Amino acid sequence: MGSLMSCISGQAPSASPPPVAKRRSSVSSRRGGGGGGAKAVAIDEEALAAAAALVLGQRSSFGGGGGGGGGAFERSASVRYAARRQQQQQGPPLPRSSSTRPRSLADPELHPQQLLAKDLNTKDLETNIIVLVHGGGFGAWCWYKTIALLEDSGFRVNAIDLTGSGIHSYDTNKISSLTQYAEPLTSYLKSLGDNEKVILVGHDFGGACISYAMEMFPSKVAKAVFLCAAMLKNGHSTLDMFQQQMDTNGTLQRAQEFVYSNGKEQPPTAINIEKSLLKDLLFNQSPSKDVSLASVSMRPIPFAPVLEKLVLTEEKYGSVRRFYVETTEDNAIPLHLQQGMCDMNPPEKVLRLKGSDHAPFFSKPQALHKTLVEIATMPPVKAS
């Protein structure tokens, strides 16, 4: 860590995101890229060696504007219009999308009401508000299946776009702290009424963000769900945690791209994942159409928040009920690393999504929904 920290000791100037800012055009430098001198090469190699432990799938696919889009997406036209064509006797129905995969037994197709007890009224729960916090490089768009299922089951759902993510227009390279990155989440929690509570669900790097929010607003968080996420201990950074991830097949190292918006002599400002390796690393069990959605929607992950060590106290962060959801086919945060985090910082309960990759909202949406409902319906712990 010594050489890494000397490389990244200079921080970018702090900046508060303006309400509207044009998306930037940044230059990313690949490992082993052209000139810059011996010092630049050394910085690149040191930063790459440390950040290779990060499992934060991201890719800058916004050419110069436009958003990743929030909210639910409609089904493909080949599915939506097939029945109408048949009714109008205009020939055989259009074929289903080739990306439609057979549904496995681990992720059966169930109607939302089948996933809930028949007599369950979500209004009777401790809270029926679920806040979804995306991982590094993702945005609120990645939750479109989960949002629809939860809302159909009676929950109120809010999917957050963190600073510089999704359709949030701020320049990722200018984010200098976790506080700045998580500001949309903390602003939302701050706006809640005195008696309102929510269930936070954090994916990937979103785990660090919800941990930060739990420390700031413990009275407004009924439960926290870490979905194949960074669940950190006090004094740890996401980088510290993911240095335990040694990508033995080299996929992560090959996939890493660093963005040096301040020049090669300065630390990286963001990280991308090579587009051609997204599926192998993050979406190895996901439908092709969701992989395509991600490939045109993902944005860089800001580097500075990844380095930041969290301050978590037992009185605040420790007072919130925590749950961890494991993903068994995860190539980004392998199961053994997820289990290691749970051993070091035990949650109240560990649940498992069998057959899920690093994007369970794509690969196992029904199973994820059932798991979230199970957690949401767990009764409050009675004071002793």
Each domain of the chain, given as residue ranges in start order, spans 128-377
DSSP 95: P
Q: How confident is the prediction for the chain on average, in pLDDT?
A: 77
Catalytic residue ranges: 204, 330, 358
pLDDT-based confidence at 229, cuts 50/70/90? very high
Dmax over Cα atoms in the chain, in whole Å? 71
pLDDT-based confidence at 119, cuts 50/70/90? low
Distances (CA, A) of 164 to 23, 56, 142, 187, 335: 9, 15, 15, 15, 29
pTM higher than 0.85 for the full model? no
Rg (CA), the chain: 21
Is pLDDT above 70 for 98?
no
| Cβ atoms < 10 Å from Cβ of 156 | 14
Classify 128-377 by CATH class: alpha beta
Is pLDDT above 50 for 278?
yes
Is pLDDT above 90 for 115?
no
- Listed residue (151, 145, 154, 202) closest to 365, CA to CA: 145
Q: What is the DSSP code string of 182-193?
A: THHHHHHHHHS-
pLDDT at 55: 34
- 189 in Cβ contact with 120 (< 8 Å): no
Is pLDDT above 50 for 333?
yes
Is pLDDT above 90 for 302?
yes
Nearby residues of 66 by Cβ (< 8 Å), 6 or more positions away = none
